[in-house]
Amino acid sequence: MKKLLTLVLVLVFGFNISSALEPVAVSIIKTDNANAVAVTVELNNYKSGSAVNVFPNTSMGSLTPNSSGVISFVVDGTTWEAIAVGSVNSYYVLDVKVDGLLYAQYRLDELVALSSSAEVEAAKKYKVGDLAQGGYVFYVTPDGKHGLACQVNDYASAISSITAENNANNPAYLDEDGDNYTNWRLPTFYELEQLYNQRVAIGGFSNATYRSSTEFNIDISYTLNLDFNDGTSFPSTVVNAFNIRYVRSF
């Protein structure tokens, strides 16, 4: 059996472990040219050493790589419904052909495992106050999947460049999954207001002035800042030492 290629990301959507298989979304990387290619797929059982066809050779059409060289397509149709979940094992392999030549192979049981991980990640939702995404979540979108997180501690400094401060080598925190995040930045004034509004839910703030990255008028040597004691805002030169709570988007 040809060596399985693992250079692509494959996501399987909507897999129901108690019934038959559902559509599969596949992405392959093809960076050698930007022209459209003919993509076909078939599912084979290699238990005997030779391919025994399970899902017939099916055309995905003439597909063109995107600017990153990625070709994405979905394997669907009623044929998948005939494949019982209990029959899926490591010998079931999805063969992908490009212009008639075998281009990539994927073990179906591994696709099922990826499906489970993708579904868990897709179902994850956050709320204000969660210790996640490298710090504390202080803002979430209506669907609960995206938002803003702040670091768990304040950072105080006085330097003359907001650009430098935005790219400071500040500590990176680990989230509940052990992920390391380093894309921290100064909050905008609007984000700083959201932090102030959620200061009780998050906790750990001082009754002090916090700096934002929002410039005051056209003078880049001044930024808008927020007093967490009473919620008042005022501009100040960047050389003044104020508290900083770094944030990141997720």
Domain containing 119 — which CATH number? 2.60.40
pLDDT at 139 over 90: yes
Whether residue 162 sits in one domain with residue 53: no
Whether residue 242 sits in one domain with residue 204: yes
| Mean pLDDT, the chain, whole residue set | 77
Q: How far is 182 from 186, CA to CA, in rounded Å?
A: 13
More confident position, 245 or 11 = 245
The distance from CA 235 to its chain's CA centroid, rounded to whole angstroms, is 36
Full 3-state SS string of 56-114: EEEEEEEECCCCCCEEEEEECCHHHHHCEHHHCCCCEEEEEEECCEEEEEEEHHHHHHH
**Tokens 């204000």, residue?**
128
Whether residue 208 sits in one domain with residue 150: yes
Q: Among 50-59, 101-110, 162-171, 203-212, whose mean pLDDT is lowest?
A: 162-171
Domain count, the chain: 2
- State pLDDT tens for residues 195-207: 999 999 898 899 9
Name the pLDDT band for 188 (thresholds 50, 70, 90).
very high
Q: How far is 76 from 224, CA to CA, in rounded Å?
A: 54
In a domain, 1, yes or no: no
In a domain, 4, yes or no: no
**What's the pTM?**
0.50
Name the pLDDT band for 190 (thresholds 50, 70, 90).
very high
In a domain, 137, yes or no: yes
Long-range contacts of 117-121 (CB under 8 A, 24+ apart): 118/11, 118/12, 118/13, 119/15
In a domain, 5, yes or no: no
Range of the domain at 230: 131-249
Whether residue 197 sits in one domain with residue 88: no
Domain boundary pick from 104, 123, 142: 123
In a domain, 185, yes or no: yes
Q: How far is 206 from 242, CA to CA, in rounded Å?
A: 11
Whether residue 138 sits in one domain with residue 98: no
pLDDT of residue 116: 61
The pLDDT of 120-148, averaged and rounded, is 85
